[in-house]
Structure 1
Amino acid sequence: MKKTKVGWSAGLAACLAMMAMDALAAEITRYVVLVDGTRQAGHQVVTTGDDGVTHVDFIFKDNGRGPELKETFTLAPDHTLATYQVTGSSTFGAPVDESFKRQGGQATWKSTSDQGEQSVSGTAMYAPLGGSPAMASVSLGALAKRPDGKLPLIPGGTLSARKITEVEVKRGQDTRRVQLMALTGIGLVPQFVWATTDAEPRLFAAIVPGWMQLIEDGWNENAAALEQRQKQAEGEFLSGLNTRVAHPLAGTTLIRNARLFDSAKATLGPASDVLVKNGRIVSIKAAGGRAAKADQVVDAANRVLLPGLFDMHGHVGRWDGGLNLAAGVTTVRDMGNDNATLQQIIGEEKAGTLLTSRIVAAGFLEGESPMSARNGFVIKTLDEAKKAVDWYASHGYVQVKIYNSFPKDLLRETTAYAHSKGLRVSGHVPAFMRARDVVEQGYDEIQHINQVLLNFLVDDTTDTRTLQRFYLPAEKVADLDFDGPAVQDFIALLAKHKTVVDPTLATFDFLRQRAGEMSQAYAAVAPHMPPDIQRGLRSAEMKIPDEATAERYNRSYAKMIEFVGRMHRAGVPIVAGTDAIPGFTLQRELELYVQAGMTPGEALQSATWTAAKVSRVLDDRGTIEVGKRADLVLIDGDPVANIADIRKVALVVKGDVAYYPSEIDEALGIKPFAAPVTVSRTGR
């Protein structure tokens, strides 16, 4: 029947009325995601209907990438998940598709990387692999119903929460009390979230200090104060951890009968006795002679003693120190951070209150664009770039790192100005440029193997601020002719300029990892990890739709490793960095250098002598010599013969403090890799 105008109007009115009723019935909570304290980079909308079904729309985009998730779930009477479904894409574009259901005493789940079923009794909470921050609300609500404050997890583990503090927030004339909660049992470190103080608390804000703030919409102006209070609470927690695992070395300490790695020559020397006083090496003598008197003694029992390792590509957070020190990393070069956050960490490290490595600072310098990363300084003009360089120079930074959106027309003059201030220049290759261009315009160093190889894969219109900077190398490096003139000429250019390359090979393992496969970057350490970490290591980041694509991406990754070996043999300096999980990634990075053709000694050299030289601290550390800092790592094995032994760290000395990696690992829920070699008092 033909509808009249009146009929359409009546229908529309009825539809609008129904929508209004639905809106009244639904409970909607909106959140905004901020970076740099002000710029909105995403949102989270949580809608719960009167049918008990909750829908979550979460999106976060920063630095040209980020997840997009759609969640649907229902809750059981104990507030745990009864059903759960999430779809969307991960940070780098991999599909996310995960579901869970509990019926009585049987739980089943399936994701793109795993599936399983489990018999359960009583309260138990499913821990999604790819969930949104809204899952914190579910966990908080379920924990509130547990008298013991502990929540069993599916597939395994136990979640607990501890209230840290409570504060008042304001929105105009409205006020509200919110509480800072520390959640433990998922991941290696506590997760801090701000929650409401209702009988059934829910998420109010989730903050990663110095980077991201997710907060309930309308209450944005409270984010900075909440972040500051959270940083204070985290500092108190970390100070306590440092007190528990640090062993101060008062007076003199003798490390007896250790085989010393000569990092300048990349060889292993004879057994020696090393005497340490006030955090410095004061003597080195052949083992077996008359031992020096000391207040403490370490019997190395012919184990290998290395200079403290450098991670040349970190983005230091306050929670990274434990993983780094347990792996023998005593110095980290920070390659881009929130300036205020990094200055705070540097201050805490110098004061000895934070469990962390020493820091070499590289200042972050980015150009303004919709895809800018918001660390450090984001500039539009040459004058702004110069002022940023001046700030970094005056604050003790050794170099600047230029990023993807930096204006290419300003690059040459900015590089020259940084050099005039005594700073090195490194970074990504800005969009619409090639690696050859930045070398010719003064770069001292290039970060990441993909940035190097994009030299052969882009033209003047390729926007490498997008995910193309990952997908192009994965797709096309497999077919590059490394013996051809274009590649050979470029390697020769790098060698001629002594351009340092920080390839972060281990990080780029994600280019080839398929859903369900164990990440090869962490396969060797996965059995030592908590169950939820092991499960997460099987999650993919890239969209790899079929076997043919997987085979191609694998070949591309293998050729990236090969290219590092070719650069090394040509005389291009290589330094070992991570840009991923601290500690473990560096160990894998060194393994990959050996796979690329370096000797184990040369790989170790890249993370000691070469790193110290590039960081301009070789006069202070990087070798085991009299007068240098006592940053030392004792290995229960021989990494000069078998690089995999680098994981068997038995003792770490950072100046005048000793750390037993087994103690740190156990505090983080990790099964230790070696028995500790302890410091003994002599009774002198």
Structure 2
Amino acid sequence: MKRILSLSLAMLLASPALAAETVRYVALVDGGKSAGHQIVTTDDDGLTHVDYIFKDNGRGPELKETFRLASDGTFTSYHVQGNTTLGSSVDESFGRDGDRVWWKSTSDHGEQSVTGTALYTPLNGSPASDGVALAALARHADGKLPLIPSGTLSMRKLAEMDLGQGQQARKVQLLAVTGVGLTPRFVWATTDAQPRLFALIYPGWMQLIEEPWKASAAQLEARQTQAEVDLLEDLQKQLAHPLAGTTLIRNARVFDSEKATLGAPSDVLLQGGRIVSVSAAGAAVSNAGNTPDNQIDAAGRVLMPGLFDMHGHVDRWSGGLNIAAGVTTVRDMGNDNATLQKIIAEEKAGSLLSTRIVPAGFIEGESPMSARNGFVIKTLDEAKRAVDWYAANGYVQVKIYNSFPSGILRETAAYAHAKGLRVSGHVPATMRAQDVVEQGYDEIQHINQVLLNFLVDDKTDTRTLQRFYLPAEKIADLDFDSKPVQDFIALLASRKTVIDPTLTTFDFIRQRAGQLSPAYASISAHMPPDVQRGFRSAQMKINDEATAVRYERSYEKMVEFVGRLHRAGVPIVAGTDELAGFTLQRELELYVQAGMTPGEALQTATWNAATYSRALDDRGTVTPGKRADLILIDGDPTRDIADIRKVALVVKGETAYYPSEIHQAMGIRPFAEPVRAAAR
């Protein structure tokens, strides 16, 4: 799930030298609808107060901060209270006295000695608190700022824009900040000697901007998008290695995704982005008698079809993490339509470091808790027009969401089927999973949406956080051998209703503050320090041991239920809805924990995924004629599923990528040495 704005960066909003002032920001979604605010008040003595709230899709953080700054622009004191996106308590403090600094949050605490300028980075701050960093950076000629507890922040200017006219004119600058997280952060700031936040924009999703200038948000988003595209084109040129002519992969053990078994050593010949032949290792494989232009010595490693992530929400920066994890196709399960169309075009043009994208069209119903993606509709005619648009634009399915009107679900599903589209989604509020299957769903997203079938009645509003807390509290006591549960499993199996569990995403229901998230325990040591710290930040409200035990048991039973579905013949596909790439690898581990063999788990992200995204004739198996979307594993994930993290080479069509290079560019310690293509 998105940890909304918890680590975003913005500019200085106050200075001890300034007179008392208040700056108001509005948070906008869906082309201008208000979804929250940030109000920043600075007292005469320099103490700053921040009131921040953002609500989208029935959830979001609420924070109140106070802080004071030193003459170098860094915190001397800081405190934030409130709640995270999913309701966990936030209570975090920092202080500095000379060279001694200390901090304490619900997730960690520490004390250290610091000499000179250094900035504390809050775990769960608002855009205002995190943004103090850039004003301090502006004071450093070298553009670098040490961080507390660790790390170094840097920034560079990407663009300037002039807004308004005459006395209302304003010049603003777009800055890219690196050193926190895995990708750059982008912020619009004023150009004053002591600049402050002007706007913080997440293209296609949210815009936080000074309230009087909200009409300029779209203009700023367009310019920021172009700046991001320019950066990513440079990254693609740096990390993509073209495979011109023919390429021979020698001595690879090929994973048969249809049978979920590992074959004998083989040679695989590629040309023009396609698989030309697969033959026994050592056979005389050539193209029209010529020596291949490139050779890759697999040395007995496992060669697999590129993985599918069947539940992504892609942006321009997720491609690197996905490719490095061996994911060559992502099914996008809901996005801003215009943004996604641009990303698809950039991927097809080869300018973007990206997976291939299978789009699913998002359709939501109008309500105060609507998610503002895709089409938000009220009537059947509007729902049909949304289906028509998706069918005309190459989408393979539609995804129904929480506020969709239950009275028109059956007719909408039938209309989508008549247009050749699959139908999937969340279960709309006041309905149960059994209802949506009977009314036309081909697939259900998320294990909580499946199991809520036994936990709700027609008055339960699952658009609220109840869709997370009810499963956490009640699944522990649910009898999976009871007749209602067994009848439901039989219904899913008889209709071959696909389940997209996203188990790793729901690991948050059992994570306690300060504990390393089990979802990322295997990769944490490879990550930058600030990302490691974030893995210990909880999202759910777990205040006592009894609740922790119950929520842990509920999560274990979610995993168990996926195993029961699989054994009953219910199709499973592997999706994430969280940190790109790494989450899919963990998802496959959990399927093995649920009782699948490693080969069956790999099948969910290859054969099953290609089948249900209607791409099996194009990819998903290592078969002549199909796309050369392939990954080489330095290990054997059919025996130890954890080896799926050891991706040594990714081939996407006519391009080779080395995951170690991508990870190093993001500050991640690689998981495997690269296996490189050698040109003739």
Q: Report the TM-score when normalising by structure 1.
A: 0.96
- Residues 75 and 119, structure 2, Cα contact 8 Å, conserved in 1: yes
- After TM superposition, give the deviation of residue 571 of structure 1 in Å: 0.3
Distance 1:297 1:25, change over 3 A: closer
Query: Of 32, 54, 61, which residue of structure 2 is paired with 1:67?
Result: 61
Pair 500,171 (structure 1): closer, same or farther in 2 beyond 3 Å? farther
Task: Say yes or no: does 1:35 pair with 2:29.
Answer: yes
For 1:170-569, list aligned pairs within 5 A: 170=164, 174-292=168-286, 293-569=291-567
Deviation at 1:139, TM superposition (A): 1.2
SS at 2:574 equivalent: coil
Partner of 2:10: none
1:35 deviates by: 0.4
Q: CA deviation at 1:175?
A: 0.8
What is the rounded CA distance, in whole Å, between the counterparts of 2:321 and 2:434 in structure 1? 36
2:197 partner letter = L
> Does the residue aligned with 2:518 lie in a helix, a strand or coil?
coil
Equivalent pair of 2:443/2:500 in contact (CA under 8 Å): yes
Q: Using the TM superposition, name which of 143-152 and 186-195 deviates more.
A: 143-152
Letter aligned with residue 142 of structure 1? A
- 1:97 has 2:81 as partner: no
Query: What is the one-letter code of the residue matched to 2:402?
Result: N
What amino acid maps onto 2:392 in structure 1?
Answer: S
SS in 1 for 2:223: helix
Within a 5 Å distance, the mapping from 1:139-178 to structure 2 comes to 139-170=133-164, 174-178=168-172
Q: Quick one: distance in 1 between partners of 2:194 and 2:132? A: 9
One of 643, 646, 649 as aligned partner of 1:645 = 643
* Matches of 2:606 and 2:264, distance apart in 1: 19
Following TM superposition, where does structure 1 have runs of at least 4 consecutive aligned residues deviating by more than 6 angstroms? none
TM-score by length of 2: 0.96
- Structure 2 alignment gaps of length 5 or more: 1-17
Q: Shift of residue 445 of structure 1?
A: 0.1
Shift of 1:332: 0.1
In structure 1, what is the Cα distance between the partners aligned to 2:215 and 2:143? 32
CA displacement 1:574-611 (0-9 Å, x = unmatched): 00000000000000000000000000000000000000
| Conserved? CA contact 1:136–1:202, under 8 Å | no
CA distance in 2, matches of 1:665, 1:291: 33
* Secondary structure, counterpart of 1:670 in structure 2: coil
Distance in 1 between residues matched to 2:86 and 2:419, nearest whole Å: 37
Give the aligned partner of residue 112 of structure 1.
106
> Over residues 350-373 of structure 1, what are the superposed CA-to-partner deviations in whole Å (9 max), with x where a residue is unaligned?
000000000000000000000000
Number of the residue aligned with 2:40? 46
Cα distance, 1:52 vs structure 2: 1.0
Question: 1:291, CA displacement in angstroms?
Answer: 4.0
Tell me the amino acid that sits aligned with residue 443 of structure 1: Y
Kindly indicate whether the alpha-carbon contact (under 8 Å) linking 2:362 and 2:400 is maintained by their aligned counterparts in 1.
Answer: yes
Kindly provide the CA deviation profile for residues 323-358 of structure 1, in whole angstroms up to 9, marking residues without a partner as x.
Answer: 000000000000000000000000000000000000
Match of residue 671, structure 1, among 669, 672, 676:
669
Q: Which residue of 2 aligns with 1:3?
A: none
Structure 1 residue ranges without an equivalent (≥5):
1-23
Larger radius of gyration: 1
Q: Secondary structure at the match of 1:44?
A: strand
Contact 1:101 1:108 survives alignment (8 Å): yes
Cα contact 1:140–1:200 (8 A) shared by 2: no
User: For residue 579 of structure 2, what is the aligned residue in structure 1?
Assistant: 581
Secondary structure, counterpart of 2:555 in structure 1: helix
Partner of 2:595: 597
1:287-329 CA distance string (max 9 Å, x none): 0222432000000000000100000000000000000000000
Question: Which whole-Å CA distance do the structure 2 matches of 1:159 and 1:439 have between them?
Answer: 50
* 1:148, distance to aligned residue in structure 2 (A): 1.1
Residues 494-542 of structure 1 show CA distances to partners (whole Å, capped at 9, x for unaligned) of: 0011000000000000000000000111100000000000000000000
SS in 2 for 1:597: coil
Q: Find the counterpart in structure 2 of residue 7 from structure 1.
A: none
Q: How far, CA to CA, are the matches of 1:566 and 1:300 in structure 2?
A: 37
State whether residues 137 and 201 of structure 1, in contact with CA within 8 Å, keep that contact through their aligned partners in structure 2: no
SS in 2 for 1:453: helix
Give per-residue Cα distances to partners, 1:388-415, cap 9 Å, x unaligned: 0000000000000000000000100000
Q: Return the offset for 1:668.
A: 0.5
Matches of 2:85 and 2:66 in 1, distance apart? 20
Amino acid at match of 2:41: T
- RMSD between aligned residues: 0.9
Asked if the contact 2:20–2:42 (Cα under 8 Å) also holds between the matched residues in 1, the reply is yes
Aligned residue identity for 1:259: R
CA deviations on 1:226-274 (whole Å, 9 max, x unpaired) are 0000000000000000100000000000000000000000000000000
1:268 aligned partner, one-letter code: L
Q: CA deviation at 1:171?
A: 7.5
| Aligned residue pairs, count | 659
Amino acid at match of 1:244: Q
Aligned twin of 2:628: 630
Cα pair 1:403 1:427 within 8 Å, conserved: yes
Question: Which residue of 2 is the match for residue 132 of structure 1?
Answer: 126
